[in-house]
Structure 1
Amino acid sequence: MFFRQRNLKLFSLLLILLAITSFLVNYNQNAGSYTWSPDKYFTRFSDRFRRFMTFSRRICNCDTCVAESEISPWFDERFNQSIPALLTKQNNMIPESVYRWWLRLQSERNPKNINKTIQDLFEIIPSDVDLMDHSPYRCRSCAVVGNSGNLKNSEYGAEIDDHDFILRMNHAPTTKYEADVGRKTTHHFVYPESVRDLQENVTMVLIPFKTLDLQWIVSALTNGTINFAWESSRGSLSERNGSRIDAIRESILIYSPEFMKYIYDKWLLNHGRYPSTGLFSVIFALHVCDKVDIYGFGADSKGNWHHYWENNPSAGAFRKTGVHDGDFEGGKLTHAMICLVRTGKIGQVMTS
């Protein structure tokens, strides 16, 4: 009862303040020849109040906001804002069903205790960044830049660099390719096998597929005792070049296994063993950004799958493997992007 009365008082005070403001504005604009016009006064007051209430309900300050609901039933069926995208010191619990699914991704044998591993991890990495902090005063624009060969000669570089966040994945070189892919990177999505030293002001987003990956990042930032990683093509551990990485600990984020399973279930419809880094990056952007543009996904104009830095147009990596089905995932991703564009969730899509 107390809170209801307090809210009523606050609402009444707001109405009074808006009425006084509208009256003064009306008076100043008509100084010297002021006449009382009730219809004009209440129309102006109603319009101001409606704009205020509309703004207070917005979750961002863009023309359209990715996370807004009740715009597309198709999107609302898949999008779940309650699932955290990152594993953090505050959000460090992995549900049992998620943990069992996660362990099967690379058939890890005799994993170290996950709770102890996570405890060790966050003694090294602060990981207190909250990227899902939507605000009606902010319009965070993001470019997700894939590695497709269809970026060659695209000249999207300047347009990509104009975004607030620029997400890249795995190797993704920019030197010598700036005109097509841009110069800037804010977030780099990697597996342990694809990690490299970070450039200044770049945040690493590590996608872990097993307990060993979390142990490895601790080792790579401290004593470097773990110098091996999983090689999916061989189905075994192999020695990794370099046991330590040059990175600022505050610039390392850990992708949540729970978020990985959510993407697998809702967006990939349980197809394949797990999604690619590209799909992980796209769905991540939908959750942390207000406006999203996609570049460099899918096959080239001839239907070939290759990277923009390679001179190998007939490459068919991940086309028909059990890990990533390029044709299926590319088709699903393309369909998803079309739906997202039609519903205003994504501003534009630069794919084949």
Structure 2
Amino acid sequence: MTLNGIRNDSPKPSPNRCRTCAVVGNSGNLKRSHYGPLIDFHDIVIRINEGPTIGYERDVGNKTTHRVMFPVSATNLDNSTHFVMFPFKIRDLEWLIKTFSPSENATSGLKANKDLVMILSPAFMNYVHLKWLGRKGQYPSTGFLTLIFSIYMCDEVSVFGFGADSKGMWNHYFGEVLNLHPWTKTGNHPGSVEAAKIDELFKRKKINVYRGW
């Protein structure tokens, strides 16, 4: 059953599931948050795309157990970090196969443990788009996909670094401001719908949300 797109039959706690999970986005609202120790305290820490930790440890921590990436955002991983991929086109899978083929690995430009690669079925993206977002926007954002994935993987989920900063600017805690217009939503993703779902999950005490300000 669902309530406004939120399932009531979510997986129940189990000794075989992770206890606590931190989903760490890349929003500028992490700047000066001092969330680093809190993030690292979680059993599983999932980071998204190229979000760096070196030089930002005080605000974002330095622990990474899983990193969700696409070919265009792939970054080197240490030997203990899971590479999580939500493929949605044939080229994504072709890139993955080429990257981890023995004959190609030396020149692929990506270092990662091939035994810790997790590939989610494209049906999962379709499920999130249909059931959680009512097909709003062209497709879900990587951050929202990661959040829903974490709900099915962990007993307690905490969300960091999602949304705009305190001034309504959409930027990263690293690099430059994405745009200078308050409340501008991101690309083809249904930003306002995703934000409303996150707020609803928080109000229903399904997740913890740390906004940094």
TM-score by length of 1: 0.54
Corresponding position of 1:190: 69
Residue 307 of structure 1: how far off its partner (Å) = 0.5
Letter in 1 for 2:167: K
Larger relative helix fraction: 1
Task: Say if 2:50 and 2:73, in contact at 8 Å, map to a contact too.
Answer: yes
Aligned-partner Cα distance in 2 for 1:184–1:217:
24
Residue 136 of structure 1: how far off its partner (Å) = 5.3
Aligned-partner Cα distance in 1 for 2:180–2:99:
32
Task: Say if 1:221 and 1:244, in contact at 8 Å, map to a contact too.
Answer: no
Q: What stretches of structure 1 move > 6 A for 4+ residues in a row? A: none
Tell me how many residue pairs correspond in the alignment: 209
Corresponding position of 2:128: 263
Residue 80 of structure 1: how far off its partner (Å) = 7.8
Q: Which has the larger radius of gyration?
A: 1
Corresponding position of 1:32: none
Q: Say if 2:7 is the partner of 1:79.
A: yes
What is the aligned-residue identity percentage? 41
Residue 268 of structure 1: how far off its partner (Å) = 1.8
Task: Identify the match of residue 213 of structure 1 among 86, 92, 95.
Answer: 92
Letter in 1 for 2:185: R
Q: Say if 2:58 is the partner of 1:179.
A: yes
Residue 74 of structure 1: how far off its partner (Å) = 2.4
Unaligned residue ranges in structure 2 (runs of 5+)? none
Aligned-partner Cα distance in 2 for 1:255–1:81:
20
Pair 1:347–1:305, CA change in 2 (3 A): closer
Letter in 1 for 2:173: Y
Letter in 2 for 1:79: R
Corresponding position of 2:46: 167
Task: Say if 1:297 and 1:351, in contact at 8 Å, map to a contact too.
Answer: no
Aligned-partner Cα distance in 2 for 1:294–1:346:
7
Letter in 2 for 1:74: L
Unaligned residue ranges in structure 1 (runs of 5+)? 1-68, 83-131, 226-241
Task: Identify the match of residue 138 of structure 2 among 273, 295, 301.
Answer: 273
Corresponding position of 1:126: none
Pair 1:348–1:297, CA change in 2 (3 A): closer
Task: Say if 2:170 and 2:177, in contact at 8 Å, map to a contact too.
Answer: no
Letter in 2 for 1:146: G
RMSD: 2.7
Corresponding position of 1:152: 31
Aligned-partner Cα distance in 2 for 1:280–1:137:
22
Corresponding position of 1:345: 206
Task: Identify the match of residue 173 of structure 2 among 308, 314, 323.
Answer: 308
Residue 208 of structure 1: how far off its partner (Å) = 1.1
Pair 1:280–1:80, CA change in 2 (3 A): farther
Task: Identify the match of residue 286 of structure 1 among 148, 151, 155.
Answer: 151
Letter in 2 for 1:343: R
Letter in 2 for 1:332: V
Larger relative strand fraction: 2
Task: Identify the match of residue 111 of structure 2 among 231, 241, 246.
Answer: 246
